[in-house]
Amino acid sequence: MPSGIITKGIGGFYYVSSEDGTYECKARGIFRKNEMTPLTGDRVVFSILDPVLKKGSLDQILDRSSLLDRPAVANVNQLITVIAAKTPEPDLMLLDKLLVNSEASGMRAVICINKIDLDVQDERRDIYNAYSCAGYRVLETSSMENIGLEELKAVLKGRISVFAGQSGVGKSTLLNMVMNTMVMKTGTLSGKIERGKHTTRHTELIEIEDGGYVVDTPGFSSFELAGIGRINLQRYYPEFSEHIHACRFSGCSHLNEPDCAVKQAVADGLISGGRYGRYVDLFAVFKLEEDMKYKK
């Protein structure tokens, strides 16, 4: 039986890209019984109902390797977190939350600093260094001046990647550059007006030339990290891991404990002070939320 991948779902129809083109499929009743809703990104087996009109019926959803919540996409294996070197000012707390979220869901994260054409004084260097030190791949791009786009393409090749980040950082413009066409609306139109009107945005996988898929998302200004908890938070800072074993206390949370190797590494410049400071802030937010929950 033919198989493929769901590139989008609209009004009960699922569009399945297969070797033999795209089929418009309906889901069979069994999925509703099993409470399995087919998602964009799902790899599926389907039957062909009409080979000419390319209509089919979904028979089976194959196991998902990952499940992203917002937007709901299955089998994503890479998050491209985009910030702008300038305009808008980088929201590094948002970036860190996105990174923690992707570590927690076992997804590779890559950071893309876009609009470097605006950063003539190289003000982005601190950000570049902090996140490279943390072990992340950091790309520097400019859609305007065509810088770094080949590198970005190489990173996207053969994977399912979701682009995420603040509104206006240039996610859709980057995707259009990578695709060589204007598939995405850019500028203020894409985010603000559409969202203000509550236009439904379908989450769509877009196939790229070299193989692989990309998903654009509307920018957001805030992001809630759910279900992580303050105790586990430190596990999602890759740059902490090589120091943690040297803390005096095994349950060290790297805040006020004596002989903390993480704090020492910050003092020695091995861990970015900014990243550590935002860890402390996030920890405090989680603590507050957890304390409130227990009081209820």
| Choice between 134 and 208, CB closer to Mg ion | 208
- Residue from 7, 172, 176, 203 touching Mg ion (CB under 5 A): that is 172
Q: Does 171 bind Zn ion (CB under 5 A)?
A: no
CB of 169 to Mg ion, least distance (A): 9
Beta bridge mates, 78: 108, 161
CB of 142 to Mg ion, least distance (A): 17
CB of 45 to ligand GTP, least distance (A): 34
What residues make contact with ligand GTP under the rule CB under 6 A?
114-115, 117-118, 142-144, 167-173, 186-187, 190-191, 218-219
**Which region, left, alpha or beta, applies to residue 52 given φ > 0 means left and ψ of -120 to 50 means alpha?**
alpha
| Choice between 100 and 174, CB closer to Mg ion | 174
CB of 77 to ligand GTP, least distance (A): 21
Q: Does 252 bind Zn ion (CB under 5 A)?
A: yes
- Residue from 161, 190, 203, 272 touching Mg ion (CB under 5 A): that is 190
Stretch that binds Mg ion, among 45-53, 172-180, 268-276, 284-292 (CB under 5 A): 172-180
- Residue from 254, 266, 275, 276 touching Zn ion (CB under 5 A): that is 254
| Choice between 64 and 185, CB closer to Mg ion | 185
Which of Mg ion, Zn ion, ligand GTP, none is residue 173 near (CB under 5 to 8 Å by kind)?
Answer: ligand GTP
Q: Does 40 bind Mg ion (CB under 5 A)?
A: no
Cβ atoms of 114 and 90 within 8 Å: the answer is no
| Choice between 40 and 190, CB closer to Mg ion | 190
Q: Does 265 bind Zn ion (CB under 5 A)?
A: no
The structure tokens listed for 285 are 């937010």
Beta bridge mates, 17: 5, 22
| Choice between 159 and 171, CB closer to ligand GTP | 171
Which residues are within 8 A (CB) of 142 and not within 5 positions of it... i.e. 6 or more apart? 114, 115, 116, 117, 148
Report the distance separating Cα 246 and Cα 238, nearest Å: 15
Which of Zn ion, Mg ion, ligand GTP, none is residue 262 near (CB under 5 to 8 Å by kind)?
Answer: Zn ion
Q: Does 260 bind Zn ion (CB under 5 A)?
A: yes
Backbone angles phi, psi at 80, to 5 degrees: -100, 105
Stretch that binds Mg ion, among 128-136, 148-156, 183-191, 251-259 (CB under 5 A): 183-191
| Choice between 182 and 226, CB closer to ligand GTP | 182
CB of 246 to Zn ion, least distance (A): 8
| Choice between 101 and 166, CB closer to ligand GTP | 166
> Which residues are at the interface with Zn ion (CB under 5 A)?
247, 252, 254, 260, 262
